[in-house]
Amino acid sequence: MIRLFLDSADIDEIRNVYSLITLDGVTTNPSILAESRNKYGSPILALKVISKFVTSHGGTLHVQPVGTSYQAILDDAHYLLEELGEETWIKIPVTEDGLAAISTLSGEGVHITAASVFSFSQGMLAYKAGAECVSVYCNRAQEHQIDYEEVIRSIKNAFADKMLLAASFKNAIQAEKATLSGADSLTLKSNVLFSDLRTDLMRKTVEDFKASWTEAFGKDRIKPE
């Protein structure tokens, strides 16, 4: 079965989605945390609440350092691990500095999600540096005319037993294509996750059923008043 993550830093949204479906955890990034900054005293407080909630539900929390140099990534990562616990997964974009940080941190036993992956070679380098998970950013790839389905297929073909988390979706079709290409894990924002429940087709379909019943029986419930 596919592993499913919610891409969010909003604890109310996270609680709500967990109350509806089974999730494997939560992913965040600096932009998502910046968006929900007014809800909490500080991003680290938000992350602490989210981390407690997610781990108590048996899931994993994936958090990205803000710093982009090797040392800054390490500093942010160590701070996050200290504040949120050693079981936190550190999301690191696969730049040159990122790769060096992946290598160092994975050597320390830290769980790494290699992020912002747009090519086979980035994925290969990240796994070989010790990342447990590689995250292909599908919509961002598509916006730059990169065939994310091919990227996923080629990485999965060479690293079949490794976790491949498809991320960065603008719509549910992209997520479907990512899984058909071999992604074993998905992370979606809640508006994309629930988008197919809110289409005009769905609205019309349920309204049609209700309308035909109401026309025949004069009310819109089966249950007697």
Q: Which residues fall within 8 angstroms of residue 177, CB to CB, at 6 or more apart? A: 138, 148, 149
Report the nearest approach of ligand G3P to the CB of residue 140 (Å): 5
Report the nearest approach of ligand G3P to the CB of residue 202 (Å): 24
Report the nearest approach of ligand G3P to the CB of residue 132 (Å): 16
Cβ nearer to ligand G3P, comparing 25 with 130: 25
Binding pattern for the stretch 138-157 against ligand G3P, x by CB under 6 A and - elsewhere: -xx-----------------
Beta bridge partners of 165: 135, 185
Which stretch in 16-24, 132-140, 147-155, 214-222 sits in contact with ligand G3P by CB under 6 A?
132-140
Report the nearest approach of ligand G3P to the CB of residue 141 (Å): 9
> Does residue 99 contact residue 124 with C-beta atoms inside 8 Å?
no
Q: Report the distance separating Cα 175 and Cα 180, nearest Å.
A: 9
* Backbone φ and ψ of 71, nearest 5°: -65, -40
Nearest residue (beta carbon) to ligand G3P: 168
Binding pattern for the stretch 16-55 against ligand G3P, x by CB under 6 A and - elsewhere: -----------x-x-xx-----------------------
Beta bridge partners of 26: 6, 61
Contacts to ligand G3P from residues 157-216, by CB under 6 A: 167-168, 187
Rounded to the nearest angstrom, the gap between the alpha carbon of residue 151 and the centroid of all alpha carbons in its chain is 18
Which stretch in 93-101, 137-145, 205-213, 215-223 sits in contact with ligand G3P by CB under 6 A?
137-145
- Residue for token pair 């040159």: 96
* Backbone φ and ψ of 145, nearest 5°: 55, 30
Q: Report the distance separating Cα 210 and Cα 208, nearest Å.
A: 5
Beta bridge partners of 71: none
Which residues lie near ligand G3P (CB under 6 A)? 7, 27, 29, 31-32, 137, 139-140, 167-168, 187
